[in-house]
Amino acid sequence: MDDGDPIADLVKLLVRLPGVGEKSARRIAFHVLGADPEYARALGQSVATLSTRVRRCGACGAFTSRDLCAICADPRRAVELLCVVARPMDADAIERTRAFAGRYHVLHALLDPLGGVGPAEFPLTPLIDRIQRDGVREVILATPTTVEGEATSLYLADALRGVGVAVSRIASGVPHGGDLEFTDPITLGRALEGRRSL
Ligand code: ZN
């Protein structure tokens, strides 16, 4: 990195964030520069230590600062109802609907043979182990409605056929090609309620 221009260096890092273009990156850089130095230090430290302070929940794979996330540690959440999502932020999106009282399983992957995730690389075993260990009775597939998300849903429906669970897919309503995180809670809540069995 060029030591000559710290602002340009920061802008280069900021534009790699999702949704941040060159113009916003410059605004953020100048804002941080003009703000209380204590704020800049706290911001930097928060970012720098994030990966050591946050880990994956030992049960579901969501991000948490403890061994178990708040949902897995909550005895009121139904263990027999499991919602399978691709990413932690998708579980967050479903939580915001307040329409789901079960638990989550975060894949951290989608089936994408061209991108290097074929059935051999796909983390199927931890999901099946969890279903059997927790006595799960219904699995709701809430992978995104993208090509990879649909392929993953079909693959899982097939793979779980012999496991003795009901398998359903969240209903349409989540726009095709849409990310769960950008779907409003009401639409996503309806998609969850209107799930169809596979
Ligand atoms: Zn968890």
- Under a CB-based contact definition with an 8 Å cutoff, are residues 72 and 103 in contact? yes
Task: Give per-residue pLDDT as tens, 135-160.
Answer: 999 999 999 988 899 999 999 999 99
Ligand 1 centroid–CA 37 distance in Å is 36
Burial 153-174 (b: 16+ CB within 10 A, else e): bebbbeebeeeebebbbbeebb
Which ranges in 35-171 belong to alpha helices (H)? 37-53, 88-95, 124-134, 147-159
Average pLDDT, the chain: 90
Nearest to 193 by CA among 127, 155, 140, 157: 140
Note the pLDDT of residue 193.
Answer: 76
Task: Please say whether the beta carbons of 98 and 88 come within 8 A.
Answer: no
Q: Ligand 1 mean position to 114 CA, how many Å?
A: 30
Q: What is the pTM of this model?
A: 0.78
What was the pLDDT predicted at 186?
76
Question: Among 20-29, 65-74, 112-121, 122-131, where is mean pLDDT lowest?
Answer: 112-121
Q: Which residues surround ligand 1, an ion (CB under 5 A)?
A: 57, 59-60, 62, 69, 72
CA distances to 75, 91, 92, 162, 175 from 158, in Å = 30, 23, 26, 8, 24
pLDDT tens string 73-117: 999 999 999 999 999 999 999 999 898 999 999 999 999 988 899
In the reported structure, the alpha carbon of residue 70 is separated from the centroid of ligand 1 by a whole-number distance in angstroms of 7
pLDDT attached to residue 190:
76
How many CB atoms within 10 Å of residue 109?
A: 17
CA 90 – ligand 1 centroid, Å:
13
Q: Which residues pair with 104 in a beta bridge?
A: 83
